[in-house]
Amino acid sequence: MAADPNPKKFPVLSYVLARLPSFTPAKSAPAFDVEQPPPSSIEIEMPHLAEPGVLASMTKAITDVAETRSVLRTLGPRPDHEAVDRARAKLNEIEGMLSESFEDIALTEAAGEDEVEKRRREMDQEKAWCESILKLDEVHGSYEKLLSEAEERLVRIYEFAEKKAKVEEGEGSVEEVEVNEEVVGILQEALANPVERVDLSGRKLSLLPEAFGRIQGLLVLNLSNNQLQAIPDSIAGLHGLAELDVSGNLLETLPDSVGLLSNLKILNVSTNKLTSLPDSICRCGSLVVLDVSFNRLTYLPTNIGFELVNLEKLMIQYNKIRSLPSSIGEMRSLTYLDAHFNELHGLPDSFVLLTNLEYLNLSSNFSDLKDLPSSFGDLISLQKLDLSNNQIHALPDTFGTLESLVELNVDQNPLVVPPKEVVNEGVVAVKMYMGKRRITMLEEEERRRVEEEMEQANAGWLTRTTSKLKSYVSDVSEYLNPSSPRDPYLEREL
């Protein structure tokens, strides 16, 4: 069921739900993705779970999840980000039109009262449809937040029980220092004597002081492999920052102020807990490299392609992205795109506009990716392509025009076109086969077109001849008819 928590995303919650009979559906077992293990097979070391106090606390913590889950089973899947954006834009348009007076329209000759009322009803229906899309997205978003909060509650409950057990065993308590003396010293020195590079990676930081936003002249900031749960808004003060690495932290969101880093060229936010990117990231127009891999993203901002026109490398692998925005076709500078291990259902038609793309990895989207755009061959610069572990039955007919392609991986696909024996011969054989197949198809299309034109021409000639013959017969029949008036001159001649 879509309402059941994904065990990879919410491991502790799934683990606890699977072991509490009162929270397990009575009629049928919960359904999970085919790639995901069932709850009973989730391996999580939780030795203190059997303690009555811990189990009671966890049971109480997930009551709201069980109640909400039963409601969501009656709803459909969550609409994708672009559908929500379209519905929101359409709703604003409709509300604007409905707020205007229809009196002027009703007074015109072109539109009567009935027509105005009909149009109003149509707009009301469109408005209701848009509102339903937004409401469905809102409900799913609320449930996702509920699951995240429940997971956090369970983790905190268990961590508390674990620390309590350590203290009782005489191992002492673990004290966490949010900002250690070394970091304070680095900050004070950077504020007194401006530096271009600050490296605070691997220091177990859980908090970044707001004062870091006041460092003048900073070009590179490395905060990777810490325990940061948030980036302060003050980071917008680093106007000259060109490279920011916050990979390997615990970030669930990025501040909207990141969009003010207009000189940022490299942004690495990989290996965090991000579920979405702020729309403001589109304003980082100088970005050349963007790495958002190993997160929990389900979509990219709708306008990301329109704004990040200088982007050359985009890494989005290991997320849950179901579709790419149509604006991605505007990233004409893009040369590298890694999107493997997502849930892509396909590529937008505009994708073929990426004529500078050299590397593309679409592997391991599994049962979701079944075909490619028909004009895929327009990617004239493509050199390396990985389509392995998908459900592609046939390569696009234009595949043979990928002249630059030198590496191709289509393993673990139910390919029929081209056949397996051709694939085994390598990328050159595949391109040659697809090219010949395309030529044969074009020749067949041309032959059918000529035949159709000839049939139409013959049909036209036959129609004209038949018409003339009918006219002649009609004239003769009319003359031979005794009741018809006869021409005296013609009678004399006869």
pLDDT tens figures, 281-307: 999 999 999 999 999 999 999 999 999
Instruction: Tell me: do 300 and 409 sit in the same domain.
Output: yes
Among 420, 437, 454, the domain boundary falls at 437
Domain that holds residue 297: 181-437
Whether 93 is covered by a domain: the verdict is: yes
Instruction: Tell me: do 152 and 198 sit in the same domain.
Output: no
**Type of residue found at 339:** A
Report how far apart the first and last C-alpha atoms of the chain are (Å, whole number). 95
Instruction: Tell me: do 161 and 281 sit in the same domain.
Output: no
Number of Cβ atoms within 10 Å of the Cβ of 10: 21
Consecutive 10-residue averages of pLDDT for the chain (494 residues) = 66 69 43 39 59 68 65 71 84 74 49 71 83 81 72 71 62 45 79 88 87 90 93 92 96 94 96 95 96 95 95 96 94 96 93 96 88 93 95 92 94 91 92 88 78 74 64 60 56 52
- d(CA 358, CA 458) in angstroms, rounded, equals 51
Whether 200 is covered by a domain: the verdict is: yes
Number of Cβ atoms within 10 Å of the Cβ of 249: 24
For tokens 């059941």, the residue is 4
Among 401, 420, 437, the domain boundary falls at 437
pLDDT at residue 148 in the model: 72
Instruction: Tell me: do 186 and 90 sit in the same domain.
Output: no
Domain CATH for 238:
3.80.10.10
Instruction: Tell me: do 408 and 261 sit in the same domain.
Output: yes
Whether 244 is covered by a domain: the verdict is: yes
Instruction: Tell me: do 140 and 223 sit in the same domain.
Output: no
Instruction: Tell me: do 139 and 189 sit in the same domain.
Output: no
Whether 482 is covered by a domain: the verdict is: no
pLDDT at residue 73 in the model: 64
pLDDT at residue 475 in the model: 61
CB within 8 Å of 477: residues ≥ 6 apart: none
Domain count along the chain: 2
Q: Are 372 and 396 in contact (CB under 8 A)?
A: yes
Whether 176 is covered by a domain: the verdict is: no
Instruction: Tell me: do 199 and 146 sit in the same domain.
Output: no
Instruction: Tell me: do 256 and 297 sit in the same domain.
Output: yes
Instruction: Tell me: do 150 and 239 sit in the same domain.
Output: no
Instruction: Tell me: do 159 and 194 sit in the same domain.
Output: no
pLDDT at residue 41 in the model: 45
Among 108, 132, 165, the domain boundary falls at 165
Instruction: Tell me: do 11 and 140 sit in the same domain.
Output: yes
For 105-149, how does the pLDDT look when each residue is reduced to its tens digit (9 = 90+)?
Answer: 544 445 556 777 787 888 888 888 888 888 888 777 777 777 777
- d(CA 119, CA 46) in angstroms, rounded, equals 61
Whether 431 is covered by a domain: the verdict is: yes
208 to each of 85, 174, 219, 239, 273, how far by Cα in Å? 34, 21, 17, 18, 18
Whether 32 is covered by a domain: the verdict is: no
pLDDT at residue 21 in the model: 52
- How many angstroms separate the most distant Cα atoms in the chain? 140
- d(CA 211, CA 405) in angstroms, rounded, equals 49
Whether 152 is covered by a domain: the verdict is: yes
- d(CA 412, CA 346) in angstroms, rounded, equals 17
- d(CA 381, CA 427) in angstroms, rounded, equals 15
Buried b (16+ CB within 10 A) or exposed e, 233-245: ebbbbbeebbbbb
For tokens 């259902």, the residue is 345
